Chains A and B, each alone.
Chain A
């Protein structure tokens, strides 16, 4: 319940960027299970029927997200996401929320870097009201001053709250170093100042420009047949504009490379982020890269970083490496949290492992184990309507094609040890790592990052 306030935000690294690349797909769910349903009004949705519970989950995305917020007006998309479900048509905020609540309908919106997304989860018996409320939120939000001011002040509060959080300071430092002047250098959800200046007209223009049928992607999972779904799609999205305003995010190349930056904080444990350029989701070497990273610092308890830093030396509770997959700004990162006087030990090990991976690549055994992990854990994500709907949405947004479900494991199987070694050498560059530390680390010398 505490999250009621905090949920209304998305930070730099939120679900959309991670979700799109790292999710694994199940063998049970086959390409043949997905039906592309097109409504009479031209709305298309990928559907997986699942009649085990009387629940329908709908997820959708409009491209743009916060990346189309005009300069100086950062935070529009985020404020829109937080206020379009605060009253529409005849219903004011409390009546709108009251109706959702009384009918156990969950409706939420989120503004990510690249997409404005929404989710509707309802019991089948309430689907007509649920679709009506969704449609009203998208097409006729009232933006009454009561809810807008209330939500605006909640957002400002949480924006100002995070300013002092070490983890947020690291993210902010990274944005400023890597992408100054680029849209990715700006906070996704704005600043206290930019949010204070937003007007209802700004919110309305955002909807007008960016929420339309031609940039809409939809997935549906649950207790619904294709024939039932067609009119539902019309009801949900009728009245939207046909064309969104075109936009283009230019490539964001990091402006600096290397360096060690310390953000001084009076805390017993330093939080450390190491960053370098990563690999795009559509790069042919993507699957080799996720295999290599699984071995170096991926999410199992056997990774090299986990073993070296945690198991052998007891230097940290959490350590790992991962990709961030923003379309135009892919990154490869590692993070660790270590008491201040052991930071240099942790850093030394991570750098050593980074270099070692580049020079020698994985061993045959590690490579085989990583493959069986990534292919074998494939089904673990297919456990709820919501999770399957997420996957269907990600597949569409990444242009993976319906057959991806059947082919995904073969992409991983096809990677050879030589591929992995080649990609490790190309990708892992210890010299390029920019280190950002928040804390009071002992024995760490700051080094200015080098302009690219």
Chain B
């Protein structure tokens, strides 16, 4: 329908839900995405993934900085800067970037998450050099003044109204995060709190830009109808000439031990049927440092993914407590993440009953464990899904980009299938005993106004 330039996060957009699923879907053979990786002298990493199905190429530039790296009191600054990156430089005046991309038949956008900020364009193969020149130019050449910055701040506040102000579910989600992370900046919304967005300005944006945007803190990913030999000289010509600079370490305050369960309730007139979400603090690939995230992905697949999963089979099909029920888990984060269970009761079933049954079902899974057969089937599906991931043009650069932004390597991505294949039934049954710790959980209820 209408475009959403400068999308704020992978995690909330339904467009990306499918892509997200791909994270659990990497190849059986280690050569599926088959990326070439090299590094420019200034430290900028370059990944090329040839894909010759259509005469097009896509460029993504990822910065290792996101909302969780903002200064205290300046929430939303990373995302605000992302919007402002479309303003202009000495070489290309305000509006020229987008107008050049469009008149050349290209499409573009950008997005911000807690751990990264990325900019991308897709164009006909012979326009690659043009978008590389444009993107390299704004890595250091951004010019901002109040005349451009202030209206854009209002755009961001409208974006917040659309995403959060008009959405009780999103309001609940914000408070759940703020409750989930007691200390870590993941507690703050990517788009920022409105009263802090209101105070962002030209100076905060430029300060953030100068601190974090540098070739040695960025990764260039080119996918499409192009070879690594073609990309190399272009990368050198446009990005290789940008001097490296000192970029600070990402130091985020860490979580203390969490010692009490939390419960958050949102009631709204815009809601007419209840739903419940329970999130448990969980390790990411980087924080775990062992195979726990792989075992958790297999667990998620077995208990909560699709119409034959444990939770759906028992709570929706067999006993009709739930209209929808399932789980989700993504280990791609720089710091901690969550393992989520959710349920919407069938019409006529109370939210209390639904919650009780969900928790009982979970206890039951913990008691009986998963079977060898379930694990084998789940692993087969996950391996198959990798082949489907190759059919998508955007999966490879997005999966690889997110990995590189969260402390992992291309080799980690390539090793994913082997590591999933290596997960045993015992591994799955072991991790489930530690993950569902009530004291590390937040329960969120979305209720119609007036229901007690």
B392 is contacted by which of A161, A320, A384 (Cβ under 8 Å)? Answer: A384
Q: Which of A59-67, A93-101, A282-290 contacts B (4 or more CB under 8 A)?
A: A93-101
B-contact bits for A377-390, CB 8 A (1 contact / 0 none)? 11110111110000
A140 to B320, CA, bound (A): 25
- A78 in the interface (beta carbon within 8 A): no
B53 is contacted by which of A52, A314, A377, A386 (Cβ under 8 Å)? Answer: A52
Q: Give the interface centre of B157, B159, B161, B390 by most chain A CB atoms within 10 Å.
A: B161
The smallest beta-carbon distance between A274 and chain B, in angstroms, is 12
- B242 in the interface (beta carbon within 8 A): no
Residues B55 and A301 in contact, CB atoms below 8 Å apart: no
State the majority secondary structure of interface residues on A: mixed
- B273 in the interface (beta carbon within 8 A): yes
Could you tell me which residues of chain B, from 48 to 85, have a CB within 8 Å of some CB in chain A? 53-56
B316: chain A residues within 8 A (beta carbon): 150
A1 is contacted by which of B1, B328, B391 (Cβ under 8 Å)? Answer: B328
Q: How many residues on A have C-beta within 8 angstroms of the other chain's C-beta atoms?
A: 83
Q: Which of A38-46, A262-270, A422-430 contacts B (4 or more CB under 8 A)?
A: A262-270
Residues A146 and B317 in contact, CB atoms below 8 Å apart: yes
Residues B327 and A383 in contact, CB atoms below 8 Å apart: no
The smallest beta-carbon distance between B389 and chain A, in angstroms, is 10
A288 to B161, CA, bound (A): 36
The smallest beta-carbon distance between B103 and chain A, in angstroms, is 4
Q: Give the interface centre of B14, B105, B165, B313 by most chain A CB atoms within 10 Å.
A: B105
Residues A314 and B155 in contact, CB atoms below 8 Å apart: yes
- A32 in the interface (beta carbon within 8 A): no
- A405 in the interface (beta carbon within 8 A): no
Residues B3 and A339 in contact, CB atoms below 8 Å apart: no
Residue of A nearest to B109 (CB): A301
- A357 in the interface (beta carbon within 8 A): no
Residues B54 and A161 in contact, CB atoms below 8 Å apart: no
Could you tell me which residues of chain B, from 131 to 179, have a CB within 8 Å of some CB in chain A? 150-159, 161-162, 165-166
B55 is contacted by which of A26, A154, A338, A368 (Cβ under 8 Å)? Answer: A26
B158: chain A residues within 8 A (beta carbon): 269, 314-317, 337-339
B-contact bits for A350-386, CB 8 A (1 contact / 0 none)? 0000000000000000001100111111111011111
Residues A317 and B393 in contact, CB atoms below 8 Å apart: no
A376 is contacted by which of B104, B156, B269, B270 (Cβ under 8 Å)? Answer: B104
- A13 in the interface (beta carbon within 8 A): yes
A101 is contacted by which of B152, B270, B306, B347 (Cβ under 8 Å)? Answer: B306
The smallest beta-carbon distance between B82 and chain A, in angstroms, is 13
- B385 in the interface (beta carbon within 8 A): yes
A383: chain B residues within 8 A (beta carbon): 53-54, 56, 392-394
Residues B323 and A154 in contact, CB atoms below 8 Å apart: yes
Residues A320 and B1 in contact, CB atoms below 8 Å apart: yes
Q: Give the interface centre of B5, B156, B269 by most chain A CB atoms within 10 Å.
A: B5
- A442 in the interface (beta carbon within 8 A): no
A201: chain B residues within 8 A (beta carbon): none
The smallest beta-carbon distance between B55 and chain A, in angstroms, is 5
Residues B95 and A311 in contact, CB atoms below 8 Å apart: yes
A53 to B27, CA, bound (A): 12
- A319 in the interface (beta carbon within 8 A): yes
The smallest beta-carbon distance between A322 and chain B, in angstroms, is 6
A337: chain B residues within 8 A (beta carbon): 158, 161-162, 166
Could you tell me which residues of chain A, from 153 to 174, have a CB within 8 Å of some CB in chain B? 153-154, 156-157, 160-161, 163-166
Which A residues are within 8 Å of any B CB, using their own CB? 1-5, 13, 18, 26-29, 50, 52-55, 93-94, 97-98, 101-102, 104, 121, 123, 146-147, 149-150, 153-154, 156-157, 160-161, 163-166, 265-269, 271, 297, 299-302, 307, 310-320, 322, 335, 337-339, 368-369, 372-380, 382-386
What are 21 sample pairs from A and B whose C-beta atoms fall under 8 A apart? A1-B327, A4-B326, A53-B387, A94-B317, A97-B308, A98-B308, A101-B381, A102-B377, A123-B384, A157-B344, A265-B270, A271-B166, A301-B3, A301-B86, A314-B155, A314-B158, A337-B161, A376-B123, A376-B127, A383-B54, A384-B392
Which B residues are within 8 Å of any A CB, using their own CB? 1-5, 14, 17, 53-56, 86, 95, 98-99, 101-108, 122-124, 127, 150-159, 161-162, 165-166, 269-273, 304-308, 312-313, 316-317, 320, 323-324, 326-328, 342, 344, 346-347, 377, 380-381, 384-385, 387-388, 390-394
Known: A146-B317, A376-B106. 7 other contacts (CB 8 A): A94-B317, A98-B308, A149-B320, A164-B272, A165-B270, A316-B158, A337-B162
